[in-house]
Amino acid sequence: MANAMPTDAAVAVTYDCDARCVMCNIWKSPSTEQARPEVFGKLPSSLKTINLTGGEPTLREDLPEIVYHVKSACPASKIIISTNGLQPKKISLMLREILKHDPKIGVGISVDGVGKMHDAMRGVKGAFDKAMETLDLLKMEGVRNLRLAFTATSRNLSHLERVLRLTRQKKIELTCAVAQNSEHYFQTDANTSIEDFSELKRQFDALISTQLKGRHPKRWARAYFARGLYEFAANKKRPLKCGAGSDFFFLDPTGDVYCCNVLPEVMGNLAKDDFATLWTSERAASARERVARCKGGCWMVCTARTAMQQHPISVGRWILLSKALRTLGKRSFLR
């Protein structure tokens, strides 16, 4: 099944960025060649979930055209645009045009704390207020699939519960990640482990408890994912096997296809080849062998989603047990 078509992808349309994030060095990189919008129309129709990311994707003036090509190539896919929300009016006008191509498109706005904490994490004064303005404007434009995306580090971990409360006030979803390293994506190896395990456990227990309380199975799945984030942050172990290079791939702005966001293994270039050719190439097979030997691992939603879908019994068992324990009054779900 190594050559089966993938179902998930993270697609970086640009590495240009107007933020100065402390956990990512993409913004320090010089501008790189960017694939033409038509290249994104070569994505495989098998994709079910596509994250259009960067850098800051809305810095590409042709993002609406890119969405058109992606949706045309992958009509059954759910597309999410990840943005820092630093240019509210521009992003709002751009989404007005994008909604014509995909009325169900989702938008994830990065928020790594409340107020000055988020400003410090993103390295931009007023970043939090701009993110909130972007959220409000996108609601007015009719974007229904909205979420805040929190990246946890030792510096902002204490704000996770505050951002969770904020999403409840705004009646939107929360996605969470732990800062990780990558030479080709985040372009840094400076992210260190979170060492305050008691605070880590407290914050993630609160997150898991809140997600389990919800009635929607997607929130229960996010509770399991949060459990995996804690396990990875605390023990550097992922609870389920990785399917990078098989179920998932990462596409960079030049068209290079990687197994994932972390391993620097290029499988081919979409601007030069059709997807089926590069996906079944010897170079791709070699990259998958590197994935099989990967010991450091990661736990990101891009590869965790497909792993969870392929292990429904393990995931479902944990969810049912945890929901039952929560009903009985338990509020701690982590060891």
Distance CA 87, CA 95 (A): 12
| pLDDT tens sequence across 186-222 | 666 666 678 788 999 999 999 999 999 888 899 999 9
Q: Is the pLDDT of residue 1 over 50?
A: no
Distance CA 274, CA 280 (A): 11
ω into 108 cis (within 30 of 0): no
**pLDDT value of residue 300:** 85
pTM of the model: 0.92
| pLDDT tens sequence across 49-66 | 999 999 999 999 999 999
| pLDDT tens sequence across 107-133 | 999 999 999 999 999 999 999 999 999
Question: For the purposes of burial, counting CB atoms within 10 Å of the CB of 226, is it exposed (0-12), middle (13-18) or buried (19 or more)?
Answer: buried
Measured in degrees and rounded to the nearest 5, phi and psi for residue 282 equal: -65, -35
Distance CA 128, CA 136 (A): 13
Confidence of residue 323 (pLDDT cuts 50, 70, 90): very high
Distance CA 130, CA 124 (A): 10
Q: Where are the beta strands (DSSP E) in 48-157?
A: 49-53, 78-83, 106-110, 145-152
Among 292, 239, 314, smallest CA distance to 2 is for 292
| pLDDT tens sequence across 74-89 | 999 999 999 999 999 9
**pLDDT value of residue 162:** 96
Per DSSP, the residues of 143-189 read: --EEEEEEEE-TTTGGGHHHHHHHHHHHT-EEEEEE---BTTTT-BS
**If you average pLDDT over every residue of the chain, what do you get?**
92
Strand 106-110, strand 266-269: pairing: unpaired
Distance CA 146, CA 148 (A): 7
Supply the DSSP symbol for 159: G
| pLDDT tens sequence across 128-156 | 999 999 999 999 999 999 999 999 999 99
Among 61, 60, 80, smallest CA distance to 70 is for 80
**pLDDT value of residue 103:** 97
Tokens of residue 138, six digits:
């996108």
**pLDDT value of residue 301:** 86
| pLDDT tens sequence across 260-297 | 888 888 999 999 999 999 999 999 999 999 888 887 67
Q: Is the pLDDT of residue 181 over 80?
A: no
- Gyration radius (Cα) of the chain, Å: 19
